[in-house]
Each structure stands twice: as C-alpha cells, then as structure tokens.
Amino acid sequence: MSQARFASCIPLPLEHKVLVNVIEKAKDWALMHGVGMRDKKHFTKDAIQIAPFVLLPSPFPRTEFTKAIELQTVLNELMHKVAHNEEFLEHTLQNALQVDEFTANLYDIWVKVRNEGITQPISLGMLRSDIMLESRCPHTENQCAKHTPYCSWKQVEINSIASGFGHLGPSVSLGLFRSDYLMHTADQNRIKQVEFNTVAASFGAISSNLPAMSRYILRQLNRGDLIKNMPENRALSGLCSGIIEAYDLFGIPSAVVLFVVEEVSYNICDQRFHEFEISETRPDIMIFRKTLNEIYEETELNDKKQLILDGHPVAVVYYRSGYEPAQYPSSREWDARLRVERSTAIKCPSIHYQLAGTKKVQQALAAAGALERFMGSSAATTRVRDIFTGLYSLDFDENGERAVEMAIADAERFVLKPQREGGGNNLYGEEVRDALLRMRHSRERAAYILMERILPPLVSGYVVRPGAPVPPQVVDLVSELGIFGVIIGTKDKIISNRQVGHMLRTKLADADEGGVAAGLGALDSPYLIDM
C-alpha cells in the first residue's frame, strides 16, 4: 500500500525565481524575529543562524486540530493525578529502577524528599501533547474511503519540562507539559496516544512567531487568501503565565526565578524569549540563569528551606537542562538537584512530575483499568482511552515475552523506547530486532517499552536550513503537532487548567527522529483543512 498524501497549500514546485526571492525574504524575517539558533559547529555568543523551517505551512485537518485542543485539559488533569499517586509510580517503576541508573537516581531523590516531608501541596504543570496522523487503517489494506488520507491521530508524547520554542515556605512543584501527537488511520477517526513524556515541553517560544512568518511568506506569494486557515498561536504568553502564576503563589516579592541551563545554550532564542516575555509582563520579577554545577556552588538552603541565590529566595526553578544522564556528570549535579527538590522553590518539573513522564508510566496507563483508577468510568475516560496506541511492557512475564516475540518477528512495525529524553535515543526497524535479540535474557530490556510505529501521510514541501543550497528541492515531509497546556493545583484540587497554544515540527519522511534542536526536523505552522 502506498503512503497517503496531503496536497500542499500551494501547488509545487514554485517557479525558480519566485522561490529564490521568497526564501531570501523568509530567512531575513526569521533572523530579525528570533527564529534562530546558535551554530553548533562554529559556536559564538555573538551570532545566531536561522533555525530550520518549512517554507509553506503544512496541512492538518481542522477537526483533528480542534479535538487535540479540546482534549488537552483532560490530559493535563490526568498527568497531574498520576504525578501525585505515589503507589502507582512505585509499582510501575520497580522493574525499570533495577536497570536504569538515571531513573533510579531520580527515584532516590523523590524518596528522600518524601521521607523528609513535602511541605507544599501545590504543583504547576505545563504540558505539550504531540500528535501525528497515521495513513494506515487497521480494518482494510486500502485507505479508509471515509477518512482518506487519514482516519485518526496518535499521541506521541506528553512533556513537562523545558517548554522550549514556546515563543518560540513550602515546596511547590512546577512542570512544563506538552502533548505530542501523530495522525493515524485507526478506527472511527480517533486520536491515539503514542507516549507520555513529562520532559521537554519544547517549541513554545519560537512557535508563537511561526504563524506570523507563514503569513508573511503567503503574502509574498500573493496567496494572502489562505491566511484565514492558519490558527493564532499564543504559546509563549500562555506558558509564561504559568511561571508567573507560580511565582505569585510563592508569595514573596523579593523572590527570583531560576532557569536551569546547560553549559552552552544553542537554543538561545527560545530560552531567552521566555525571559523577555516574563520581564515585559512583570518587570518586578528577576530571572537568573544557572547550570546545575553553579547551583551547587552558588546556592544554599536557609532554616526555612528556602533556596537562596544572590541573597534572594528562589520562587520558581524552571529546568531547561537536567533531564538527561549526560547533564549529571558528577555527584555535584545530583547534589544540586536534591537541594532544589528539598527547597520551597516551585520546580518545573518537580521530581515526581519527571518520574510520571517516564515511558514505563505511559505504557502502564494504557493497560486495562489503569485510567479508571485516576478518572473513574466516565466519558472523559473513554476519550482518553481512545487515543492510546499499542504500548507493550518488556518485563520478564508472559506479556513481556509475547511483546519480545512480536517485535522480533516484525521489527519494522515497532519503535523501541528507553527511559531517555532529548531525541535520538529510540531504535527503529532492524535495530529493534538486534537490540531485543541481544538483551532478550537480560534485565536491561525492562528499561525499554515497545511502541507501534506510525506511518503519517506525506506532503510535499521545501525545508530551509542554514548553509544549505538555495533553492532547496521539493521533498516529502511528515508533521507532528504539539498542543500546550498549563495546570496548577494540589493533589485534591485543581486551581486552574487551560490549553495555551500549539507548535508544529516537520521532518523528512524517511527520517526516524525529528528533533529541531538536534538538527533532524524543522519548525512549521499548521494550515487547517476541511475534509
């Protein structure tokens, strides 16, 4: 069966002279509006280059876009409840902890702060749900005539730390969430979840500028009539409102906000736009940027368990680093993380939110009866269950053995996912078979989950990259839509819960991974179509 396809919003290819001219204008627009990143090969703090972007906005069904927006607050609440259920997290992670040192270290910090007593019941989560369309139908070998070229979408992940590209007393926990989806031709045109991931709610800052950039490009191509099909995006202000609200809940006017960053920040535009937005909205809020090592050296806990930095109590700690093993090269970084978790600062995410975002937790939520445990038997429960796709445990039990056999027999059908963040960690195709054959009798396999692979519909387009030849060739692309959400509340009460914006990442159709920061994907905007 050939892969399904959407038509581009403008017939391609464009005439050579027109294409060269509009790309030159688009690059200048991108640089002048912060759609950029630092060059990893020739790094300097004095210059940025364009971030990879898709020249024309990519088509996405209007009905599915609306469904994703409407479902976001339901997913916000679900993840909030999961993060606060100690018994569920303990039971779900027990096997992974034996083979995944990074998750075990996070878990040990969680146990320590629980035993010492968590003094603040309030949590803030900012999520992003990522979705992609699926072009295959489970009921027939051909396209579903009713829903061609798709019949549902699947959720890729929910993220809760580092709402990147969104512009783009007691201890309060803060998490930034993002739910990611892929479109899928499953039964009855329903969305399907691929992964819960409460780390890296990226693309909030720069993505807020992408619709304006696409509108500019369409006008330059004399197609301003298409702009009405592009939704507004206020992800940056929406995500920053969560940090500001958490700051106000902390209740100390002299307090500051702390961004945890890497030693070298390539994605500087996206990070800084959050700081600029907060400063513009609330000039009274001071923001510091520190690495985990600098937090270890420059902060202390006072007798009130306040985290003190430069003489100020820290109200909010927002992690733009600290969610991968490589970001903890020594015990100093782990000690800094423990110090932050022990403090009264509002964490984004708190340690239990990060644990709730592991792949094992998402796989466990897809099991029979798991959702009812958190949501009861309700219409909302049915809506969430409808988005789940094939997620399989690799534990040493009957189900795990069955999953291993299934993946070895048909490796192209699956993705093998470890408890890792940041992109580039998943295994595909023959890599899945090779890895499972290697660790079939090793407990190492318990640190992974198996997920059914998605085959999204294609669309033709141009990807503009720094340093690439101009004009680029027309290539086949697939897209991933992200919906942002913010939720604040205690274990027993939701204070606020809202959807705040969206983003779109697009990659070459034959690429397995698609991270923009990793150089594998490109920034994009949805062009809503009626089908």
- Residues annotated as catalytic (active site), given as ranges: 128, 195, 197, 202, 359, 417, 421-422, 505
Q: Which residues carry a binding-site annotation?
A: 178, 195, 197, 271, 359, 417-426, 428, 451-454, 480, 505, 507, 513
**Cβ pair 184, 131 in contact under 8 A:** no
Asked whether 210 and 184 are in contact (CB, 8 A), the reply is no
Task: Give how far Cα 492 sits from Cα of 84, 313, 508, 517, Å.
Answer: 9, 27, 44, 37
Helix/strand number for the chain, H first, E second: 15, 27
Angle between helices 101-116 and 331-342 (to 10 degrees): 30
What's the residue count for the chain?
A: 531
Binding-site residues from annotation for substrate: 178, 271, 505
CB 180 within 8 A of CB 130: yes
What residue numbers does the annotated binding site for Mg(2+) cover? 195, 197, 421
- Integer angstrom CA distances of residue 322 from 272, 290, 397: 18, 11, 33
Tokens of 531: 């089908």
Query: Strands 448-452, 173-176: parallel, antiparallel or unpaired by DSSP?
Result: unpaired
End-to-end Cα distance, the chain: 21
| CA atoms of 373 and 149, how far apart (whole Å) | 36
Q: What is the DSSP letter of 227?
A: G
Contact between 344 and 301 (Cβ < 8 Å): no
Binding residues for ATP: 195, 359, 417-426, 428, 451-454, 480, 507, 513
CA separation for the pair 278, 272 (Å, rounded): 10
Q: Which two tokens stand for residue 166?
A: 């969104």
Q: Residue 422's CB: how many other CB atoms inside 10 A?
A: 18
